[in-house]
Amino acid sequence: MVHKPQRHETMKYGGIKLYAGRSCPDLAQKIAKYLEIPLQGREVFTFPNDNIFVKLNSSVRGQDCYVIQTSTLPVHTNLMELLIMIQTLRLDSAARITAVVPYLCYSRSDKKDQPRVPITARLVADMIEVAGADRYMTLDLHAGQIQGFFSIPGDVLTTFHLLIDYAKTFINNLVDPVVASADLGFAKKARNFAEELNVPLAFVEKRRVTSNSGESQTLSLIGDTNNRDVILVDDEISTGGSIEQAVNIIKECGARDVYVIFVHPVLSLDAAQRMAALPVKQFITTDTIPIPPKKLAHFGDRIKIISVAGLLGEVIIRANEGRSVGEMFNE
Ligand code: R5P
């Protein structure tokens, strides 16, 4: 899917200047490697009072600037750092600024689903724009409608092809495989997975039940996992509660080996430890969020991390040259 194009002779916005915050240094380096350009020098540090300082080492006047910053833990530091970097570039007269945010925080706060609650994903979109971004780029948004919270153009990309390509490398070794969606919200994407892999689909349904003793969750399985190898898919693992429950129910329903594919490894609290304790043969995820070595160690060799660097690098090249991104996906 990803291929290196010929560089065009004329570029509307000047050369690409790649900047990175402190949230995902390895991914940023890989993107720079794909683009065959260095990450630009900048100083970023936090004062003792927790305020963040940013200074660019060289001018960006008239340049096409990309700031790579994933908004994971510590969420507010990383988000604020992104906003400050964007404003720094704006004040130094960059021609165009793109916020490259592989994982967008607050994506689960996308609607007023109970009285007196905010829509924080909208607030985050507003802040990115107000800071001075002209465009944004992100991967597998929790809900597609978040695109409507931005009034600047964006490339909302998917890791679907990368994950499917990997799944295709082992699908033929599985026994009567079935794809199961760990969350009904992911059902449509799970259906695409199942179709691409040419296997049936099952759903884990979560339902909140309120009783006098409080709120609890009941689960049911729609579909057949009995005596089958199961590929469980979801967009993110945060606390791991959803996957833990899903693995338990599909195991109770007779599943053989379980594989878990998820896009964003948020892995908050002790999720890594809890996930590693599950009867899962392999976890497959991406590097939209770096997994700290201590958390990674829990998984041993049972985790496969697929890099999104080539995908983001290719889209950056195309954005700079004003070329179609859709054609990468045959759209
Ligand atoms: C839910 O809407 C999502 O698809 C995931 O199932 C959820 O974000 C995972 O969160 P946790 O790991 O905390 O259960």
Distance CA(203)–CA(135), nearest Å, equals: 36
Q: Is the CB of 134 under 6 A from ligand 1?
A: no
Strand segments, DSSP code E, in 177-320 are 178-181, 201-211, 214-222, 230-237, 258-265, 282-286, 303-306
Q: Is the CB of 110 under 6 A from ligand 1?
A: no
- Residue 210 reports pLDDT greater than 90: no
C-alpha 212 to ligand 1 mean position (Å): 26
Label residue 8 by pLDDT band (50, 70, 90). Answer: very low
pLDDT reported for residue 6: 53
pLDDT in tens, 57-90: 999 999 999 999 999 999 999 999 999 999 999 9
- Counting ligand 1 atoms within 8 A of each CB, the residue from 105, 183, 267, 274 with the most, and so the one to mutate, is 183
pLDDT in tens, 247-305: 999 999 999 999 999 999 999 999 999 999 999 999 999 999 999 999 999 999 999 99
Distance CA(9)–CA(321), nearest Å, equals: 9
Share the mean pLDDT of the chain.
Answer: 93
Please state, as a whole number, how many other Cβ atoms lie within 10 Å of the Cβ of residue 61: 10
3-12, 93-102, 259-268: which has the minimum mean pLDDT? 3-12
pLDDT in tens, 125-181: 999 999 999 999 999 999 999 999 999 999 999 999 999 999 999 999 999 999 999
pLDDT reported for residue 219: 82
pTM over 0.85: yes
- Counting ligand 1 atoms within 8 A of each CB, the residue from 242, 268, 274 with the most, and so the one to mutate, is 242
Q: Is the CB of 185 under 6 A from ligand 1?
A: yes
Label residue 185 by pLDDT band (50, 70, 90). Answer: confident
Distance CA(219)–CA(301), nearest Å, equals: 30
- Residue 9 reports pLDDT greater than 50: no
C-alpha 195 to ligand 1 mean position (Å): 23
